[in-house]
Structure 1
Amino acid sequence: MDLSVILTVVIALGMGALIGWLAGSRAGAGGAQVIDSLRLQLDEVIKERDANRSAASELAILRAAQEERERSFDQQLVALREAKESLSAQFHEIGGKLLGEARKAFLEQAGEKFTQAVMPVEALLKSYQEKLQTVEKERVDHYAGLREAVELVRTGQGQVRDETRNLVNALRSSPKARGRWGEQSLRNVLEQSGLSPYADFRTEVSVDGEDGKLRPDVVVRLPGGRQLIIDAKCSLNAYLDACEEVDDDKRLAFLRAHVMSIRNHAQQLGSKAYWAQFGDSADYVVMYIPGEHFLTAALEQDDGLWDWAFERRVLLATPTNLVAIARTVASVWRQETLNEAAEEIASLGKELYSRLATMAEHMSRMGKNLATANTAYNQMVGSFESQVFTQARRFEALGAGSAKVIETPPMVEASPRPLTKLAATPATANEGVA
């Protein structure tokens, strides 16, 4: 039973007992009023009880409805769980089937694609393998050829090394061999520079000097009748010893000896005074050293060597600067040839102009004669028409004519063209003749 109902019953019983007690203990008007008041209160209490009963009934109904809803919710929850499990099982079953079919289709398509992709790759690999075999074969052939070429180079280097050693030995042991080598090197440089041994330079020229015969290696002709004297000098022994020496002090000593050898050669050339023995020679003599490194090594030890030799009227020359000198000489000769050709052309032009002036005089005189002849011809034609032809007409009138007709000769109206341009510059023509 609801608590409010119990309270209502208890209150009602208490009020009844109180009313009975009050009724027994009091008699009179005051007691009646109290009873009425209590009755009224009792009625209100009964109303509240009834209201509480109604509320309790509604609360019971609501509780029953709530319990029903909870039972329905539990049933729905159970149904949903069962449906979920069923759907999950169906999904797994359908997914497994779809996955199996998709996997099967994928494998089939992948197999087809793989076959399609593998076939070109296989063909490409086969082609690559064939080309690789071809390249490998060519590489083997080339390697064999390269090995043969290397062997030839090695053999050639050995021969060059042997020949170089033989040349070095020959140059070391024979001063004549050194001299011939230097002379041949000098000749090669001059010819490669464009000079001809038949016209531009001479070799082994001998002249008589105060101390006997002088024989420079080469005499180069220069424009204007001058000559350039060149003598080849080879100072090799000390230089070769320095190149082969390992010890720095000894190598330095050999290089100094090399410098002294070049100085001695320059001193000897300067003392020969070629410029005095050759009347038209240049003021200097060229000392040709057949190797750049020979002179470079000497200049590294003695930087004043060049000026020292120049003071003695000796020019130190190597193949490089001798080529420059020889090319300059060849260029001067070409310029000289051009100048001579220009002078000859000028002389021919003057002569041609003189002959043209003489021919112009003949043409002028001929024109005058033609004009005189033209005038005489016209006078003759006029006389023929006025004197002879009228008389001939009279013969025809008298019947003494012939079948042939006397034609009237034409007059020559054109006159010879004068030489106006030549006549305008007679002074120039006279100067050309002079």
Structure 2
Amino acid sequence: MPLVDQNKNLQLKIASLEAEKLSQEEKITWITKTQETLKTMFQSIASEILESNSKSILGQVTFHFHSLFENLKTDWNLKKEEIKNIVSPLEKGLEALDNQIQNLESKREGAYSSLSSHITLLAEAYKELHRSATRLEQSLKSPLVRGSWGEYQLQRLVEMAGMEEHISYLNQPLTEDKRADMIIFIPGNRKIFVDAKTPMRAYLEAVSAENETLRKEKLKEHLSAVKERIRELSKKEYGRTQTDAFEYVIMFLPSEGLLSLSFEADPGIFQYALERNVLLASPINFLALLKAIAFGWQQQRMTEQVEKIVEEIKNLYDSFIELLTTLTKMRKAFENTIDLFNKASSICHEKIIPSTRKIQSTGSFSKEIPEVNPIETTPKNRDCP
């Protein structure tokens, strides 16, 4: 082959090789650019994915904790309101109980301190009544005056005994067309009828008699007048017409002398009256009876106060039980909340925080990852709730 042809072939091959080299260099350049583009694209996509996942995880965790603590806050507010609703009646109950105890103690001291003065009052009453009888001797000769005087003495005695009208007694009530001078109410829904009688004419004449013969004669007349009043009072039958009435009617003689002279004339006068359901009473023994009845009313009121205190104590005990029950429920609720929080903390430590740290290690995020530590709980086998 001629050298010229060989040279041409070589030149053609050289040109072909240069074209192929140029083509390869263009391919290498395209591949390099493509790799850089893909790398940039993948880095951007990975960064977006990591950021999106991280935000999603952190958002879920934040929402979970926020809901958890909001529930805890709501439960605490509800329990706090429940405790307030329980404690407030307890405070009022304790105040009412303290006031009632103070009132009861004050009344008890007053009741027992007044007992020491009762004997003195009885002696003074006797002296005063004796002086009144002497002063009224002349004016008592009139039947109308004697009746008013007897009613006045009766009213004065109930006032001295500390009894209250319409509560402890009723003055001059009408009972089936029969007027009694007074009704004495006694504890237990019972009542005693009282009529004041003043057979004074023969009594005054006996007191002022100049000799023993005349005195004995007037004593018999006085005894006859007293028995007549007993028979009149027995016919009214107050105790038989009303079921709540005491079977005996009290015949009140407003002067000690009226009763003592009757007893002197006939020692069996009391038995005579009892056989006819009548009790004879003079100012001294009638005042003693009224004092006993008044003291009975005081004891009943004190018993009612004690019953109220017992009721308050029962309410207070029930409130304490309710408070302890609520505290037990609160403890259980707190324990459940702590368990849920510790479970969420465990999820963070086992799954979320390790993944977040791997993402942080790429260098794309610089914020510090906070620690979510579990809450340490006390032992549950304690004596108190």
Report the TM-score, using the length of structure 1 for normalisation: 0.54
How do 1:26-425 and structure 2 match up within 5 A?
Answer: 167-173=136-142, 175-208=143-176, 213-402=177-366, 405-415=368-378, 420=383
- Classify 1:230/1:406 alpha carbon distance in 2 versus 1 (closer, same or farther; 3 Å): farther
- Residues 1:296 and 1:385: Cα distance change in structure 2 (over 3 Å): same
Provide the secondary structure at the position in 2 that maps to 1:196: coil
Amino acid of the structure 2 residue aligned with 1:286: I
2:174 corresponds to which letter in structure 1? S
In structure 2, the CA distance between the partners of 1:206 and 1:368, relative to structure 1 (3 Å rule), is same
User: Secondary structure of the residue that 1:227 maps to in structure 2?
Assistant: strand
Structure 1 residues 218 and 351: CA distance shift in structure 2, 3 A: same
CA distance in 1, matches of 2:137, 2:257: 15
Supply the RMSD in Å over aligned alpha carbons: 2.6
Distance 1:163 1:320 in 2: 14
Contact 1:289-1:318 at 8 Å conserved across structures: yes
- Displacement of 1:321 in angstroms is 0.8
What corresponds to 2:67 in structure 1?
none
The answer (yes or no) to whether the contact 1:370–1:416 under 8 Å persists in 2 is: no
Distance (whole Å) between structure 2 residues aligned to residue 256 and residue 406 of structure 1:
121
Distance 1:418 1:204 in 2: 74
**CA shift at 1:296, angstroms?**
1.0
Deviation at 1:341, TM superposition (A): 2.5
Report the secondary structure of 1:279's partner residue.
Answer: coil
Give the superposition deviation at 1:178: 1.1
Distance 1:162 1:289 in 2: 14
Q: How many residues align?
A: 255
* Corresponding residue SS for 2:280: strand
- Cα deviation digits, residues 207-259 of structure 1 (max 9, x gap): 11xxxx11111111111211011111111111111122212211111111111
Residues 376-411 of structure 1: CA distance to partner in whole angstroms, max 9, x if unpaired?
Answer: 1111112112222222323433333345x4432332
8 Å CA contact 1:367, 1:417 repeated in 2: no
Q: 1:266: how far off? A: 1.2
2:251 aligned counterpart, secondary structure: strand
- Report the identity percentage: 28
| Conservation of the 8 A alpha-carbon contact between 1:364 and 1:419 | no
Check the 8 A contact 1:374/1:415 in 2, yes or no.
Answer: no
In structure 2, give the amino acid aligned to 1:282. F
**Alpha-carbon distance between aligned partners in 1 of 2:362 and 2:184, rounded to the nearest angstrom:** 102
Q: 1:182 to 1:334 in 2, by over 3 A?
A: same
Distance 2:252 2:382 in 1: 66
Structure 1 gaps, min length 5: 1-160, 424-434
Q: Which of the two has higher C-alpha Rg? A: 1
Counterpart of 2:335 in 1: which secondary structure?
helix
Amino acid at match of 1:203: N
- Distance verdict in 2 for CA 1:218–1:402, change over 3 Å: farther
Runs of at least 5 residues in structure 2 that lack an aligned partner in the other structure: 1-130
Q: Distance in 2 between matches of 1:278 and 1:239?
A: 34
Q: 1:258-283: per-residue Cα shift (whole Å, max 9, x none)?
A: 11111111111112111012231111
CA-to-aligned-CA distance 1:116-174 (integer Å, 9 cap, x gap): xxxxxxxxxxxxxxxxxxxxxxxxxxxxxxxxxxxxxxxxxxxxx99966x4333212x
Distance 1:386 1:342, change over 3 A: same
Residue of structure 1 in register with 2:33 after alignment: none
2:150–2:197 contact (8 Å) kept in structure 1: yes
What do residues 359-378 of structure 1 show as CA deviations (whole Å, max 9, x unaligned)? 43333222212111111111
Asked if the contact 2:133–2:255 (Cα under 8 Å) also holds between the matched residues in 1, the reply is no
How high is the TM-score relative to the length of structure 2?
0.61
In 1, the alpha carbon distance for the partners of 2:326 and 2:295 equals 46
Could you list the per-position Cα deviations for residues 59-99 of structure 1 after superposition, in whole angstroms to 9, with x for gaps in the alignment? xxxxxxxxxxxxxxxxxxxxxxxxxxxxxxxxxxxxxxxxx
Identify if the C-alpha distance between structure 1 residues 314 and 420 changes in structure 2 by more than 3 Å, giving closer, same or farther.
farther
The answer as to whether partners of 2:194 and 2:251 remain within 8 angstroms in 1 is: yes
Is residue 283–residue 313 contact of structure 1 (8 Å, CA) maintained in 2? Answer: yes
Deviation, structure 1 residue 344: 3.0
